[in-house]
Amino acid sequence: MDISVIIPLYNEAESLPELHAWIKRVMEDNGYSYEIYFVNDGSTDDSWKVIEGLHAQYPEVKGIKFRRNYGKSPALFCGFERAEGDVVITMDADLQDSPDEIPELYRMIVEEGYDLVSGYKQKRYDPLSKTLPTKLFNATARKVSGIKNLHDFNCGLKAYRREVVKNIEVYGEMHRYIPYLAKNAGFSKIGEKVVQHQARKYGSTKFGLDRFVNGYLDLISLWFLSKFGVKPMHFFGLWGSVMFFICLLCVVGIGVGKLYCLGKGIPARLVTDSPYFYLALVGMILGFQLFLTGFLGELISRNSQERNNYKIEKEF
């Protein structure tokens, strides 16, 4: 099979027939063999009835229905598990992503050898309150991930080689960072294509401003796991040791200063009267706790069943 299209959705009943007809026309015009997975993420409207109707009429349409709303990442994860196409395309169900982009995305994967191609909505039909935070978010994601050529990490329109989606785990709200997940899994040829962005035709957006806060927290988590997930002692142990020894030197310095004053007969207040003494003690305790956190993390990591789960591409 050439292409699997994965479409997560929540309350998009009005747009589904039009979206399916559009995808079907593009696929038939280009002679692709394909399947479409509509992943119904706990919709409360008639989305599932529409999917059932499409499936009854068109066998290439397949559906997954969640009992409740889990989010976009779980929807993509379930779609990726079931995808059988050589190239996997993801897009949103709100008609803001154009299926006319599929042939070029497919060509870039198959002919140019990209592992992943992400859409870039250079001209957006979104309010300023959404576009400005998005620019800041993408700039931070580029800096942290090291993927300098991507301008729109969170674009729903992406294309993947089948091996990519079978070797990454999308969980929580990590769908924003699938290119970063792919890079960490060893798929380094990541490209970008400017795609058409269309104004929403039906309904309203399902995402609020909280996604930007959650997005930064997820980015920090992903960065830490990619750097220190299997070697937590290298982070906590290092900074715990640095904090402990700096604060220890401060305590020693306070004590030496006190002894010097006593030796010279210079009046000096009690060591315990100095706020710096207590700050240094607190710093030593925190440093020791950081070190202990790294030690415990290392013990857990060494006993994890996944510690030697390496992704082997080829073997003779």
**Helix axes 275-302 and 238-264, enclosed angle (nearest 10):** 150
**Is the sign of the CA dihedral 176, 180, 186, 188 positive or negative?**
positive
State both tokens at 213. Answer: 């806060």
**Per-chain mean pLDDT for the chain:** 86
Tell me what the mean pLDDT of segment 133-159 comes to. Answer: 86
Q: Which of 139-148, 203-212, 243-252, 264-273 comes out lowest in average pLDDT?
A: 203-212
Cα–Cα dist 198/190, whole Å = 24
pLDDT in tens, 160-191: 999 999 999 888 788 888 999 999 888 989 99
Residue-level pLDDT at 277: 84
Residue-level pLDDT at 45: 93
**Separation of CA 212 from chain center:** 12
Cα–Cα dist 88/94, whole Å = 19
pLDDT at 137 over 60: yes
| Confidence tier at 92 by pLDDT (50, 70, 90) | very high
Cα–Cα dist 144/233, whole Å = 21
pLDDT in tens, 114-132: 999 999 987 766 655 566 7
| Confidence tier at 311 by pLDDT (50, 70, 90) | low
